[in-house]
Structures are given as C-alpha cells and as structure tokens.
Amino acid sequence: MANVAKKVSWSGRDRDDDEDGRAGETTPLLNGTGPGAAGSGRQLTPSPFLRIGQLSNVDLNEDIRELETEVPRQRPNEIPHNEKLLSLKYESLDYDNSENQLFLEEERRINHAAFRTVEIKRWVICAMIGILTGLVACFIDIVVENLAGLKYRVVKDNIDKFTAKGGLSFSLLLWATLNASVVMVGSLIVAFIEPVAAGSGIPQIKCYLNGVKIPHVVRLKTLVIKVCGVILSVVGGLAVGKEGPMIHSGSVIAAGISQGRSTSLKRDFKIFEYFRRDTEKRDFVSAGAAAGVSAAFGAPVGGVLFSLEEGASFWNQFLTWRIFFASMISTFTLNSVLSVYHGNAWDLSSPGLINFGRFDSEKMGYTIQEIPIFIFMGVVGGILGALFNALNYWLTMFRIRYIHRPCLQVVEAMLVAAVTATVGFVMIYCSRDCQPIQGSSVAYPLQLFCADGEYNSMATAFFNTPEKSVVNLFHDPPGSYNPMTLGMFTLMYFFLACWTYGLTVSAGVFIPSLLIGAAWGRLFGISLSYLTKGSIWADPGKYALMGAAAQLGGIVRMTLSLTVIMMEATGNVTYGFPIMLVLMTAKIVGDYFVEGLYDMHIQLQSVPFLHWEAPVTSHSLTAREVMSTPVTCLRRIERVGTVVDILSDTSSNHNGFPVVESNPDTTQVAGLRGLILRSQLIVLLKHKVFVERANLSLVQRRLKLKDFRDAYPRFPPIQSIHVSQDERECMIDLSEFMNPSPYTVPQEASLPRVFKLFRALGLRHLVVVDNRNEVVGMVTRKDLARSWGEDWASPCRCHSAWSTGVAVLPRPSCLLLPSHVYCLLLSPLPLLP
C-alpha cells in the first residue's frame, strides 16, 4: 500500500526529489504502513510524550489499521485508493518566519531607506510578473490560432474534395489521425517529462497557496511543458481550453522571478535574495495566479478576486494592491501585443485570450419576470455540474486504479482525441441543419450536403476551437441553430468534456464548461421564445450567457470571482445581478450533492488541504486528541551524531523539532526553549557549525541568513553531507538558529481554536505543552486534515471494500451526497477488466 501515493500523486514519479532535495525517499500514506508513517499518527494510548535524542514510534488509530488489513492485494494491475489516507509526499510550507537571532539582527539593520528599497523591489517584481505572463499568453494564443487554423483548413479542403467525389471516410481518418498525433506529442511530454503539468494546474496552485508543498509545481521545466502541452491539446481538438493553465503558468513565472535565479538552469542572478523564503514566495505566486486569470479573460479585478476566493490563504491590503497592479500589467501587455499582431497598433481591443464580445444592453436587457427563470437555470446548472463532477470522480478513480502507467495514459489521450474527432464528424455528417452563409461570421464553414450558399450549423460548434464556438453561441442571431443541433451537441460534448478532464495533458475546464452551458442555455432561450410566441426579451444569446455561467459555476463552484470575470469579459455591468443569482444558485444546488471539481481532485490526491473553518462538530475534540506524540526533541546543546541519526532515519519524516533545555548528562527535561527545522539543521551540518566537547567556549563559525537562503528551496539531502566519526562526538549549539518563540497551545485547547490559530497564521508546526511548559505533542497540517476527514466521514466510513469481481462505491469526504442519494449508488459496480 506504500506505493499508492506514488501512483496517485501529481508528480507521478516512482522515485523523486522533492523540494527539500531528499532523493529516493518512499512516499507512504498516513495509515500506519510503510516507512514514514511513524510520528504522524495520533496517540490514543498512554505513553511517554517526549523522546530526546532518539526517534519514536507512534501507536496508530486501530480502526485505520483494521481498515488497511481488510484490503487484499489480489490484483497487480490495479491500485486501491483510500481518500481517508493522507500522502506523506506532500510537506508544508513555512509561511511563519523563524524569528531566530540571525533573522532579528538582519531586521534591526534595515532602516527606512532599505525598507523603501525592498518595497520598490516588490512592485518591480509584480510588474515583471504581469509582463511575462502577458507575453506567455500572447505566445500561446498566436501559436494556437495558426496551428489550429492550418489543421482546420486542411481538413476542410479534404472534406470539400471528398464530398463531391465520395469517400468521406478518408476525411474522417485524416481528422482523427491529425488529432491523435498532435495529442500524442502533448501527452508524451507531460507523462514522461513533467507529470505535474497535467490538467489546468488550478488544484495544485490552490494547494500551494494553502501551504502545501507540491513537488515540481513551480519549476521552469513545468512551465515549458505546460505551455507546449496546452498548445498541443487545443490544436489536437480535445474538449479543453487554454485559459485555465494560464493560472498555473503565471504562478510559475511569479515563483521564478521573485527568487532572482533558476535552480533548473543553475543560474543565480544575485537579485531579490531577500525574498528567498516561503512567506514572500507565496505572496508573489498569488500575484502570478491573478495575472494568469487577467491574461486569460481580460479581467484584472476578477483575477484579484479569484486569487482571494480560490487561492491565497493569507491576505492583506498591501498584497491586494500589488496583485491588482500585476493583473493590470498582464492584461495591458497582452492587449498591446495582440493589437500589434492583428495590425491595429492603437486599438486595444483584445484584453484577454477570450473575449465574449459586447452585449447590447438596449436590445438584450432583462425584466423582473425573468429573475425566476435565471434562478431555475442556476438550479439546472448546479444539477448538471454535480453530475459532471460525480462522473469525473468515478472516472478518475478508475484511472488511479488501472491507468497509472505513462504509456497507458498516452494511449488513453490518443483514444480520446480520435473519439472526439469521430463524434464531431459523425454529428456533422448526420446533421441537416443548414444556414445561409451570407452575413455569417463562421471561420471554417463546411457545406457538406447543404445547398450552395449554405453551411452546416453543427460544424460551427464542433469544427472550431472551443473559444470561438462560445462566442458564436453568444452572438449568432436568432435562427442560426436548430434546437436538435444544440441538444445533440450539448449531450455529446458534456460526456466528451467529462472524459477529457483528468487526462495526462495540459488543459483547462473553463472553456468546455462555458461551451456546454452556452449550448443548453441557447436551447433554453429558443424554447422560451417558442413558448412566448417570439417575445423580444427571450433572446437566445442572453440565455446562452446565463447557461454558461450556470454550468461553470455548477462545476467549479466559484461565485464572487466568476461573477466579476463574466462581467469584465462581456463588458457589461447590466448582467451582474442575474449572473450572481445564477452562480449562487448553481453553487448551493451543486454543493447539496458533491463538492466542486477542484476540491474533489485535491481530495483524490490525498493532499492535506485545510479549509477555511474547522469541522462544525469538532468542539468536543481537544489538542490532546489530534496531536502526534511522542515528539522527537533536541537539546539546546546537542551531540552532532544524534542530530545526524535523527535526520538520517528513513522511518521518520519529521521536519520540525522542539528544542528543550536539558543537561546532556542526565535525562531530566526542562521546558520548551524553541523550535528548529530540518532544513536549518542540514545547513548547520553542511557548514559544520559545531565545536569539540572538551571546549564548548570556542567561537563557532558565524553563519548569516544568506547561507540559508542560498540553499533554499532545494536543501541538500542528509545523505550528501559527510560527517566523520570524530565530528559525530562534537557538540552543536542551536540557541542562535532556533526560533525561541514558537507558537504553543495547551493540551486542553479545543480543536476549533487550534485550527483557527494554525490556519490564520499559516503555521507548519504547533507545539502542544502542559502546565509546566513541557512538550507533550505536536500538531501539524496532516493531523488537522485527518481530523477534518474523520469528522465528515463519520456517518459512513470512507473506504473501499474489495472482493472477487465487485467493488463497492466508496463514500469519500469529497462526495458529500445526501443519504437518500448515496443509498441509490451503493449497488455493487462490476470491475472492468
């Protein structure tokens, strides 16, 4: 079971170097199995709370152990998955600064002039983030436009040729082969070079901003694979969009620019060294995510709100201004470059990768009697979004269990590309919905079996990039689509998009969701117009917009930011209120059945993600019941050999160690004196900051914060540091390097209070002490995340029961189904061969 995390994790590697540089470590789960589970479980039986100078084993929750023993390993080609287990592959970020003597001395030396210089550098970095994100968006847009245009022209000429001569099967074969070939390249580079670049990247960035260190998520190689992968995915005709990955791309750019160096290229430009810590880096990644939204939709305010609603866990007023500045620079850069590219140097009319076009308020206003209709559309969007998420959840579980090899992932992506082309071709071939081509804005009109001067309306939706199809559904005049055409397109594209999300390709779900919603929304508007005898207020384009908002809101469950994004993308404030109503209704209805798509995939990856609030039924729990114990502690003056043994033991994965005052010659323990991190200890050992036992008064080598920043973020593994036998007998004084004022709580503190303190301050470790200030336990992110999962899953235990030939549907914490709905799904599902 120790291999589950390796197969499930976003990085997808069997042996990997995490951001701390610990190569080749296994990635067990917090279930008491595998090397690394020790020290992470809850102590429920009486035992010593404290171990000094040695590693400790932890008694684990008995019911979790029993659950694990019930899972037989009978199927070598499948991977059982249990979402109650949290992967130890993911570590926490250190958002709380370690205020040791070195840090305080440096801060005291900063005068007002130096402080202003640091602030100016922050604004310069935000400007650079906006400019580079805008340029990357321009590159993606221009390349996609040219490659997709070339592909559609070749296929169109071929279809026109064989329509007259006969033999359209060759056109189908050409279209499917082109799609599969392009997607194959895009899937190969993701599956074999950088698996974390798969998908939109929004769940990964949400986890990073929440305080979880996702391996490789903000590296330069990830950015290159992301950009190339999304271009190939869109050109390959998949039901994907290029807007979602821009958020991940902007975040990677922000992480790289703010550090002033590239560890991948091994180049250090010796600038921005002050910002080489998790606290500063996460703030800039927030700005990068907002700049990505701004470049994708031309919505700078929506980008700021997205970063606030979906991303950043920690916020302040100064950060708001800097993020808004980066967003404005991003959309202005994109606007300027695309205007020059399109030959209108002074016409800044391309603020984002997708522009929904302007909706005329006079012709397409809304009345009071339409408010209930909009609310009903929100209900429909919430139900369809919940269905989409549930189907995608089951599909993702199937992929985790069976399609975990990179070669199989590439084959699946090629299959989806070929099927998408085949479905599109068959739908166009069978459609008899012909519209006059005069006055139409269709980019690649297919005549097929239509009369001269007419084009196939189904081809407008399928034979185009998804972004242009959305705009067509918004603005094509009434009568441009047959209701049967829209209904069949909605049905087929819904399942294609659901199948596509989760493939090993770089792609987003924003545009497919908008396209599905725009199709059934326009169909809804046509139906209303028919029922009201052609009333002027029943405009199909207006209802296509509301349907798009309802569908996207029902899938991703965004409210505030998506409302503003839609308003900015349409350039019309008039629809602000109905869009807000639709999105809120879709979220409420969707949350009644399942969680949002991004939260669902975060849970599927076993990430210790912390929500905004503690579980509502957690007031009966205290810190004593959720803390990990016993705790591995270090003395203030510790033997080097002891430190090396603690860091080298692969049965533990501790990253923070309380420092206590204790006489080295006795076992008597005094109170807590501080907290020191694994990364700090590694730097101390690397620079050999220790003295001989015989003379503790010798002056040690003086380290500066620069030594720690130079090693950040890829600290060397302990195996690479050589310590001789004589050096093992030396002593190391931790007083200068430990944080002398770590946050602590008494063991009687309630879980909501512990959760609020941990979440609001962005802590990585929270020490639990007794009334004598002695260490009795440690609360980490995984302890709190596990308590959240147990609280929600308590009515129906979260597990998968395996037996010969059948698999019972799990009740994960991400599928918060009402009991009457869940019971309908409990029937055994046959395992696919």
Query: What Cα–Cα distance (Å) separates residue 804 from each residue in 74, 399, 602, 830, 831?
Result: 9, 20, 29, 10, 9
Most confident listed range (434-438, 554-558, 785-789, 827-831): 554-558
In this structure, what token pair is assigned to residue 406? 């990179």
Judge whether 56 lies within some domain.
Answer: no
Judge whether 140 lies within some domain.
Answer: yes
For the stretch 588-600, what's the b/e string if a residue is b when 16 or more beta carbons lie within 10 angstroms of its beta carbon? ebbbebbbbbbbb
Query: Are 333 and 135 within 8 A, CB to CB?
Result: yes
pLDDT for res 700: 54
Domain that holds residue 346: 121-609
Instruction: Give this prediction's pTM.
Output: 0.84
Query: Are 621 and 23 within 8 A, CB to CB?
Result: no
Judge whether 61 lies within some domain.
Answer: no
Whether residues 577 and 693 share a domain: the answer is no
Q: At residue 307, does pLDDT exceed 90?
A: no
Whether residues 644 and 495 share a domain: the answer is no
Poorest-pLDDT segment among 172-176, 319-323, 611-615: 611-615
Whether residues 603 and 627 share a domain: the answer is no
At a CB cut-off of 8 Å and minimum separation 6, what does 144 contact? Answer: 231, 234, 235, 242, 465
Count structural domains, the chain.
Answer: 2
Judge whether 592 lies within some domain.
Answer: yes
CATH number at residue 443: 1.10.3080.10
Judge whether 67 lies within some domain.
Answer: no
CATH number at residue 694: 3.10.580.10
Query: Are 243 and 236 within 8 A, CB to CB?
Result: no
Q: At residue 46, does pLDDT exceed 70?
A: no
Judge whether 323 lies within some domain.
Answer: yes
At a CB cut-off of 8 Å and minimum separation 6, what does 527 contact? Answer: 483
CA-CA distance, 10 to 114, in Å (whole number)?
A: 40
In this structure, what token pair is assigned to residue 285? 């990644």
Whether residues 166 and 239 share a domain: the answer is yes
Whether residues 568 and 662 share a domain: the answer is no
Whether residues 601 and 628 share a domain: the answer is no
Judge whether 6 lies within some domain.
Answer: no
Element (H, E) at 779: strand 775-780
pLDDT for res 391: 96
- CA angle in degrees (0–180, nearest 5) for 538-540-545: 110
Query: Are 132 and 140 within 8 A, CB to CB?
Result: no
Whether residues 629 and 603 share a domain: the answer is no
Choice between 74 and 511, residue whose per-residue pLDDT is larger: 511
In this structure, what token pair is assigned to residue 78? 């499948």
* Mean pLDDT, range 505-525, rounded to an integer: 94
Choice between 829 and 250, residue whose per-residue pLDDT is larger: 250
Pairing of the two strands 806-807 and 829-830 = antiparallel
Whether residues 560 and 686 share a domain: the answer is no
Q: At residue 816, does pLDDT exceed 50?
A: no
Q: Return mean pLDDT, the chain.
A: 80
Whether residues 372 and 396 share a domain: the answer is yes
Judge whether 80 lies within some domain.
Answer: no
Whether residues 750 and 656 share a domain: the answer is yes
Choice between 490 and 652, residue whose per-residue pLDDT is larger: 490
Poorest-pLDDT segment among 23-37, 202-216, 617-631: 23-37
Where a domain ends, among 582, 609, 636? Answer: 609
Where a domain ends, among 574, 609, 644? Answer: 609
Whether residues 542 and 673 share a domain: the answer is no
Whether residues 714 and 638 share a domain: the answer is yes
In this structure, what token pair is assigned to residue 763? 């802590």
Q: At residue 69, does pLDDT exceed 80?
A: no
* Mean pLDDT, range 442-449, rounded to an integer: 78
